[in-house]
Structure 1
Amino acid sequence: MTFVAILSASRTSGDSPAGLRATLHFAGQTLVEYQARQAARAGADHIFILVNVITPAISQAVDRLSADGIAVVLVRDMIAMVRDMPRDADSLLVADGAIISQSHFDAIAGTEGDALLVTDDSRASAPFERIDAGQRWAGLVRISPDLLFGTLDMIGDWDLALTLVRGAVQKGARRITVPQDDLLEGRVTLIEGQQQADLVAQSVLSMASRSGRMRGGIEHYLFGPVARFLGPVLMRSQVPALQVRIASMMIGAIALVPIELDWPVIGFCLLLFALLLSEVSDRLDELALRSPPLGWIAFITPFFALLGLVMASGSITASYLALMLAILLVADRWQRTGGARAWMIFTPGSALLLLFAAQLAGGVSWMLDLAMICAIGSAGAIILTRRG
């Protein structure tokens, strides 16, 4: 069943009465933008953000979300909400300033009907709203259209989120209890100021750095671990993924100069560094809950790597190898490698590393033949391990 998400962006932060919790910096973006990406990843069709005042930070966040294909609507009053909310879809309500791990978003999204994310009453859960003698609301609730519109029809001055939560409690909504470890380790928390947001982001990014999509070849075994280490560091330093990607393109282009001047070792070193930066950029996108690019921009740096390989070798075998690597690159990038393991996928980075070693050892010709055999074997492995 489809659902929409309702986010709040109205409470002030503890740092300044003029600032909002929703616009605090978190994981390379505003906090409300991070919440919206979590909801979209869980399956929300539309994102509704409740605001009192549309600030420049909120507008920029909406622009970035819209550019990534996430449908966002700003709502300033209940009349607009009644008009715009779908009548046949559940709503996923997220508390203002709440950071909740993606697993809990997915758990609530996977239920049907009213469901509450709750935590047992303790010192760690004190910032959350109490719902009865033993439990508190943990910042996430799924509500049916009947409960939502029944609440919107009420008259009076009330807090929409808390009123909906109380309505869900009275209806006996299913409760999903958060382990206390999630509270203590920052996987479920309420953020009030930037310092707290930085601490929670550090914890979240540290956990996220252990996971990631599988790549093949050297990108998996060498670049991947380095990117997982550097990603959280650069994210905390607020380095945008796009700037890292542009840097990788520039270094890839510059690397062609020493190769043309017959200094292939220097050129290959620069190309390997450019591919590493491209992998770091992908990791920054993943940490910010953005999908790494799959279009032409993702292939610019690898294109320079393949061009450098052909320029350095200057043989027809190198041209054929580059074409084979381009096909394998697209399959790897679009995750169409079937059941092939990471070591079975021969990538441009893997070929460059072999040729770099060959340049040092003086055996480029036979290494080109070996690389071509590896590329053919990799293509065969992808074809033969595809599931019907």
Structure 2
Amino acid sequence: MKIALISVAKDDPSGKGPIGFLPLFDGVIVEHQLLWAVQLGAERIIFLSPSMPGALLQYVDQLKDDGVAAEIVRSAADLMQYATATDEVIFIGDGILPRGEFLDILADNDRELIFVVDNAEQYSDFELIDLNHRWLGVATIQASRLAELADVPDDWDVGSALLRVAVQAGARRESITGTAIANGILAFLQNDDHIAEFEQKRLRNPERVEGNFLSRFLFQPLQNRLIPKLWRMRSSAIYVKVACVGTGLFGVLAAWFGLTGTALILIFLTSVIQDLSQNLTAHRPVSKGRKWLASGALMLATLGLVLIVKNESSLSILWPNIVVLIIVMASLWLAKFRGKDGVLDLIKPDISLIILLFLCFHLLGLFSVGLNVMALFGMAFLIADQIIVSRAEEKRLVSAD
């Protein structure tokens, strides 16, 4: 079993509490550290905190309520009760955010290792190992080594003691270049200045660049500007969820009363706000609320579209149009699992794009035509994507032979 040991032992120099709970625009530092550990396969999260601050106690209680195996220990002597000798421990220091290539390196690793950088003046904030290397605050060791920390005095830094144990055990050193650090493979966040610089880089180079052209070139640039402001507003995530449900319900009501244009606009806003809500909490380890909100928004959009089709169809073509709508929604569901990182990604149909196109056809007085075009578009995307995937698989098999 993999265990993540996250240090929450150091306080911010300006007196704002533990470094791990300094806020980023999409959560606090420990939330990002926990998500990284979970992505790596950690099944248990242990927070190391001699002082046991209230924010940490509340956060761990929240994690436990959501089914995450999380614990708090005060000292090195308490660690062994949560690990067996065969477990692997991944240590993450205070304010350290490993990213990118770290996942690939550790996913393929079966040895004890420490991550280091060459000893240079610009890396003086990192702990010095010897004349050649400084430690980057990330290490992986066997849990059996934790017994060697049992006698460490409570006023010692456990991270430093763990580093000494790893070095004495001959752990492999994985050197990270200065260029990789400058490009963001690891963030060292110890105060507000570090965080401000880190956030500016993230907003200039957002990690989440996916979806079709509508999402990439309209929604995501707008969200990159809006999300940092929303995170500074108390309970903004709740307000966004209420807005999502509210616009969906009003969209259904507008469709019920035959206001097709208004209904389509409100349903389109529902899909946009739902995407915003998902990105607003994208780095949180608890995702139950996001899943329910996404399902609810899709159900409201579908109900609204059914009512719109009913209002816009004569009795003779009502059921054929309902069947076509079912084809459209089925193609959206299937497309969700296709075209990822593919050549057709930019035109991948989703609910926002479909509703926007429906609105355009409605304004032109061609709703029924638009409905059939959307069905053909969805099926054409699936067929073309399958052809591309099949050809890529054939090339892979030929090259393997």
- Could you tell me the TM-score, scaled by structure 2's length? 0.82
| d(CA) in 1 for partners of 2:155, 2:292 | 52
Q: CA deviation at 1:386?
A: 7.3
The SS at the match of 1:124 is helix
The 1:234/1:152 distance shift into structure 2, 3 A limit, reads: farther
Q: Deviations over 1:252-283 (max 9, x none)?
A: 22123333343322221222222122222233
Superposed counterparts of 1:147-186, under 5 Å: 147-153=145-151, 158-186=156-184
The 1:321/1:378 distance shift into structure 2, 3 A limit, reads: farther
| d(CA) in 2 for partners of 1:232, 1:166 | 42
The SS at the match of 2:173 is strand
Could you list the runs of 5+ residues in structure 2 that have no partner in the other structure? 311-317, 394-401
The 1:230/1:59 distance shift into structure 2, 3 A limit, reads: farther
Alignment-derived partner of residue 399 in structure 2: none
The 1:64/1:197 distance shift into structure 2, 3 A limit, reads: farther
Q: Deviations over 1:192-224 (max 9, x none)?
A: 2234323323323543x2434x54xxxx22024
Which deviates more from structure 2 when the two are superposed, residues 255-264 or residues 300-309?
255-264
Q: Deviations over 1:34-68 (max 9, x none)?
A: 21111111111211101123223112322444455
The 1:289/1:296 distance shift into structure 2, 3 A limit, reads: closer
Please tell me whether the aligned partners of residues 325 and 375 of structure 2 are also in contact (alpha carbons under 8 angstroms): no
Superposed counterparts of 1:67-86, under 5 Å: 69-86=67-84
User: What's the RMSD between the two structures over aligned residues?
Assistant: 3.1
Alignment-derived partner of residue 113 in structure 2: 115
- Identity, in percent, stands at 21
Q: Deviations over 1:305-355 (max 9, x none)?
A: 22222222313234223323433344345x367989436754333332232
Alignment-derived partner of residue 398 in structure 2: none
Alignment-derived partner of residue 363 in structure 2: 360
| d(CA) in 2 for partners of 1:94, 1:264 | 54
Please tell me whether the aligned partners of residues 4 and 45 of structure 1 are also in contact (alpha carbons under 8 angstroms): yes
- Could you tell me the TM-score, scaled by structure 1's length? 0.85
| d(CA) in 1 for partners of 2:289, 2:388 | 26
Q: Which residue of 324, 329, 333 corresponds with 1:326?
A: 329
The SS at the match of 1:148 is helix
The 1:83/1:289 distance shift into structure 2, 3 A limit, reads: closer
The SS at the match of 2:114 is strand
The SS at the match of 1:168 is helix
Q: CA deviation at 1:119?
A: 0.9
The 1:252/1:38 distance shift into structure 2, 3 A limit, reads: same
Please tell me whether the aligned partners of residues 37 and 290 of structure 1 are also in contact (alpha carbons under 8 angstroms): no
| d(CA) in 1 for partners of 2:76, 2:50 | 11
The SS at the match of 1:356 is helix
Could you list the runs of 5+ residues in structure 1 that have no partner in the other structure? none
Question: How many residues were matched structurally?
Answer: 379
Mapped pair 1:286 → 2:286: no
Q: CA deviation at 1:116?
A: 0.9
* Paired AA for residue 166 in structure 2: A
| d(CA) in 1 for partners of 2:241, 2:338 | 23
Q: Which residue of 217, 223, 239 corresponds with 2:215?
A: 223
The 1:268/1:47 distance shift into structure 2, 3 A limit, reads: same
The 1:346/1:268 distance shift into structure 2, 3 A limit, reads: same
Alignment-derived partner of residue 198 in structure 1: 196
| d(CA) in 2 for partners of 1:247, 1:272 | 13
Please tell me whether the aligned partners of residues 79 and 146 of structure 2 are also in contact (alpha carbons under 8 angstroms): no
